[in-house]
Amino acid sequence: MIKSRIRTVPHYPHQGIMFRDITTLLKDPVGLRTTIHEIVARYKCLKIDKVAGIESRGFIVGTPVAYELGVGFVPIRKRGKLPAETVGRDYQLEYGTDRIEMHVDAIQKGERVLLVDDLIATGGTAEAAVKLIEDMGGIVVECCFVIDLPDVGGRARLEKRGHKVFALCEFEGD
């Protein structure tokens, strides 16, 4: 049901890429409600202190999940976007590096954190986010995604490092 509401945009942003666009899922009231409900149902019986969402679609999914779980939300943003003191992690891109950051007071030592984003592809950003949470003393309960692109290897990359990964749907061959 969720997968059928996700639009595929061929050759975006580059030739050969099949972009999985969740805006069609988000605009559909049943699709949005089902997405949030399924994620919350998975985690409602686990001890979670915070939900951390990766910029920007991780904010859209992670905030209502945090609200429904009755916990706080932590934004993980690109360099220079947060107003107070931050801590960050660099990670590799196809051509160069990038950096994600969060506020230094966002996660306390020992807090159990659910990491949320819309999609896992190569896993570079998610891996940097996990390390950032762990740098702050947080414990990553699981990495949760709406979409997994298993052929790209991000899920395997996180699991190889001992992290649990969950996705609501998969698109193979990407």
Active-site residue set = 57, 94
Nearest to 142 by CA among 118, 115, 117, 124: 115
Please answer whether residues 134 and 111 qualify as being in contact, where contact means their C-beta atoms are separated by less than 8 angstroms: no
Please answer whether residues 145 and 119 qualify as being in contact, where contact means their C-beta atoms are separated by less than 8 angstroms: yes
Whole-number Cα distances in Å, 63 to 1, 60, 128: 22, 6, 20
Whole-number Cα distances in Å, 102 to 31, 61, 110, 138: 29, 18, 17, 13
Query: What does R_g of the chain's alpha carbons equal in angstroms?
Result: 15
